[in-house]
Structures are given as structure tokens and as C-alpha cells.
Amino acid sequence: MVSTFSSIRIATPADVPALFRVRTSVRENVMSMAELAELGITPETLPEMLKGEGRGWVVEHQQQVVAFVMADVVDATVFALFVQPDYERQGLGRALMDQAEQWLFSQGCSEIWLVTDSDVTVRANGFYRYLGWQEAGIQDDGQMRFIKRNSEYR
């Protein structure tokens, strides 16, 4: 479980290389650095996403980032949650999501959202449902939108 790891901490620009390493290591929702760059997510743009209205958190094991989450208060969204494959099923994703949800709700968001692959076999769908997120329909780009209201927060 999470307690065997270093505590969760806020991500900094110095974590950016590790965030990309974790992001490109996943088994589902795989994206290369080139594909991420097409979406405007690069080592140059990511630090800006960690400032002001954006925030990220990381979990480290032996001084190495193994999981992270990122959220944006202006859009009331959790836009990234990734766990390195060797560290899956240890409670890291749940602990990170809890940090992001707490922060977004504490900043005055009454409803938060995220999107993920609409394929029901993708594990993220079940994970979000397990954490109390509700399906809110398919987006124009084919992704499933999930929402959570402050009143539904655990």
C-alpha cells in the first residue's frame, strides 16, 4: 500500500522528466512523446501546467517518481493520472486521486470531471466508477466523460 512509499508530494518542474517517463511507460492509453507533443504536452509546456491554476502530485519509491496525478482548478478537471506498471494495484492511483479531488473541491469546485477511453475493457473506467465517479456521456472525440460532485466526495 501507499504507506510503504514516500509520502505524496506536490510535483515541481524538476519532476517533468520523471512525469514523462511514467506517462510513456503505461500499458493502456499508451502515447509516445511525439503523440503527446501533438496535443501540446511537451517538456517545455508541462511546467506551466503545474503553476497557478494547475497542480500535480507524485509518489516516489526509492527517490524515483512512480506515479502522478495532475488537475486544473479553472477547468475543474483531473487531466492526468498514471502509475508505472510495476507499481499498479498498490493504492497509489487511489491516493493520488484523493489528493486531486480534495484540492479541487477545496478550491471551490462543486463538480469536477475527467475523460478516459470509452472502451469498457479499459481498467480506468472501472477504477473511476469504484472511486464514485459517474459516467456523463461520450465526448465528441469518443472519450468517456466522468463527473463527481462535491456532495458525492467520500
pLDDT at position 3 over 60 = no
pTM of the model: 0.89
pLDDT band at 153 (very low <50, low <70, confident <90, very high): low
Judged on CB neighbours under 10 Å (0-12, 13-18, 19+), 94 is middle
Percentage of the chain exceeding pLDDT 70? 94
In a domain, 59, yes or no: yes
In a domain, 151, yes or no: no
Q: Work out the mean pLDDT of the chain and round it to a whole number.
A: 89
In a domain, 55, yes or no: yes
| Minimum mean pLDDT range among 3-7, 32-36, 53-57, 146-150 | 3-7
Which is more confident, 4 or 83?
83
Domain count, the chain: 1
Which is more confident, 83 or 50?
83
In a domain, 123, yes or no: no
In a domain, 17, yes or no: yes
pLDDT at position 51 over 90 = no
CB 82: neighbour CB atoms within 10 A? 22
CA 92 to chain centroid: 11
**Nearest partner of 47 among 59, 37, 56, 36, judged by Cα:** 56
User: Is the Cβ–Cβ distance between 92 and 83 less than 8 Å?
Assistant: yes
pLDDT, tens only, 77-135:
999 999 999 999 999 999 999 999 999 999 999 999 999 988 878 888 889 999 999 99
In a domain, 38, yes or no: yes
pLDDT at position 38 over 80 = yes
Could you tell me how many residues make up the chain? Answer: 154
In a domain, 121, yes or no: no
Supply the range of the domain harboring residue 61.
Answer: 2-109
CATH number of the structural domain spanning residue 26:
3.40.630.30
pLDDT band at 4 (very low <50, low <70, confident <90, very high): low
In a domain, 19, yes or no: yes
Q: Which residues, 6+ apart, have CB-to-CB distance to 87 below 8 Å?
A: 59, 61, 66, 67
